[in-house]
Structure 1
Amino acid sequence: MAIRMYGGAAAAVYAPLDPVSRAEQVERRLTDAIVLGLVPTDHQLPGEAELSRLLGVSTVTVREALRVMRESGLIETRRGRKGGSFVLESQESAVGRVVERLLAMSTTSLRDLGDRYAALSGAAARLAAQRATEVEVERLRRRHRQVVDATDEPGRRRAESHLQIEIAAVAQSPLLFREEVTMQAEIGPLLWLGAGHEDVHDITVDRAGELADSIAAGDGDKARTLTEERIALWTAHLVELRLQELDR
């Protein structure tokens, strides 16, 4: 079947997994895509054989991952000629799975994750400022407006994700773009738990506007600094969220 991509960030959903990946990694990849809105409600996932080919795992592994997702209420299986696995409307179960992963990580691991992502995205922002064309700057401004206009946590998570993907694309570095896509596929939803919170989002919206302006002005150092500051803020909130969840 033809695979529909809902924006450039959706490329992260079907990027190949590590050859030793297991069912849990497949389940995480697809769950993360649902959390970010990269796979929309009522969207049909590729069939087991196609998912197996795209992700580089066995059909048995894919089947087990889909079973867990069905039991978690993330997808449903429909029978018949137009049957298959379809994404359900509620994101509560998907977010709950990501929170479980958050609780399993140490504070040190979370901070290391944030540092890695800040280094990658900061480098992409610096290059984007050096290489962006007028057309690409306008695309970034549209992504920024989506961040500003987002009214709920799923929308904020999705908008921030798409903005970062767009910056990586504007950097015109295939390597950095692949790394951005890979990191969003593997750890993005953890970071976006911090970015999507209302208090944090209100602060980072202004930073996103400054970031777009700095890229338009060709100020690579400022673009990198703003990106690193935004990610540091998300990471700090993520650490705080983990401690709050543990206290409960």
Structure 2
Amino acid sequence: MSDMLGAGSGDRLAPILRPVRAGNGFEEALEQILQVLRLGLVPYGERLPAERVLADRMGVSRMTLREALKVLQDEGLVESRRGRYGGTFVLQRPGGEIRDPGDELRRRIEKVDVEDTLRFREVLEVGAAGLCAAHGLTDEQADRLREALHATQEAPLEDYRRVDTMLHLTLAELSGSPTLGAQYAAVRATLNDLLNCIPLLVRNLEHSQAQHAVVVSAVLGRDAPAAREAMREHCAGTAALLRGFLA
């Protein structure tokens, strides 16, 4: 296909490729390109639009786009070729089926309402962060939150999801609502079951770490609106990744 999004290719990709929201550029760019692949808008063996075109359409930097394409390459979905006729090409398995890291994820969600889970998670997480900030934490509670954040920053990759879960559970517990804490534990278990089906992406984890730090800072600074908004953005990043692998 042409590097430029002309009449034919542009018509096909226009509904998918759109400017991402501020805050989750990597996750949302990955989500959109995965959707393009899953929907077959670029046939197997053909070339994706040029990096500069994709980056412009989604409003992300070339570096962010390349990181998203690297994930797709590592997962066997695309291949980067150099030279005059190079670019990023959609891969095809023998027999004609695209390699799909979301197969196991789709099997697990047959009895799960993913959108309901993501929305309920956001309500609980945003609420917990806002309550912690609005009510304020004791010195002991603040130390617990700092320690939970520090644990995520020091965790090896294979242990990251566990300590990440503990940070979020700590916020839920410190909200002062036992019911909220119990409900969050349940929805987090469902969420982790889904997240365990997709690869741990270093760029996404780094981004999540930065967002965690903003949330904790806002909570400790007793800035409830900032805590809620930072947590809402954090939840949106996770949702974008899951939707991308499911598209």
TM-score (norm 2): 0.52
Structure 1 position 207 matched with structure 2 position 201: no
Instruction: Provide the rounded CA distance (Å) in 1 between the counterparts of 2:241 and 2:138.
Output: 34
**Max Rg structure:** 2
Q: Deviations over 1:192-224 (max 9, x none)?
A: 666943121111101101111111011111111
Instruction: Provide the rounded CA distance (Å) in 2 between the counterparts of 1:227 and 1:195.
Output: 22
Instruction: Report which stretch shifted further, 183-192 or 117-126.
Output: 183-192
Query: Once the 2 structures are TM-superposed, how far is the Cα of residue 187 of structure 1 from its aligned partner?
Result: 3.2
Q: Deviations over 1:91-145 (max 9, x none)?
A: xxxxxxx962444548x94333222211111101111112321211111111111
Structure 1 partner of 2:43: none
Letter matched to residue 126 of structure 2 = G
What's the C-alpha RMSD, in Å, of the aligned pairs?
2.5
Instruction: Provide the rounded CA distance (Å) in 1 between the counterparts of 2:246 and 2:129.
Output: 28
Q: Which runs of 5 or more structure 1 residues have no equivalent in the other structure?
A: 1-97, 244-248
Structure 1 partner of 2:186: 182
Q: Percent identity?
A: 20
Secondary structure of the residue aligned to 1:187 is helix
Instruction: Provide the rounded CA distance (Å) in 1 between the counterparts of 2:103 and 2:162.
Output: 17
Letter matched to residue 130 of structure 1 = A
Q: Is the 8 A contact 1:143 1:162 kept in 2?
A: yes
Secondary structure of the residue aligned to 2:222 is coil
Query: Once the 2 structures are TM-superposed, how far is the Cα of residue 235 of structure 1 from its aligned partner?
Result: 1.2
CA shift in 2, pair 1:214/1:196, >3 Å:
farther
Instruction: Provide the rounded CA distance (Å) in 2 between the counterparts of 1:162 and 1:195.
Output: 20
Structure 1 position 216 matched with structure 2 position 246: no
Letter matched to residue 168 of structure 2 = Q
User: Number of matched residues?
Assistant: 144
Structure 1 position 146 matched with structure 2 position 151: yes
Q: Aligned match of 1:133 in 135, 138, 141?
A: 138
Instruction: Provide the rounded CA distance (Å) in 2 between the counterparts of 1:188 and 1:133.
Output: 30
Secondary structure of the residue aligned to 2:127 is helix
Q: Which runs of 5 or more structure 2 residues have no equivalent in the other structure?
A: 1-101
Structure 2 partner of 1:112: 116
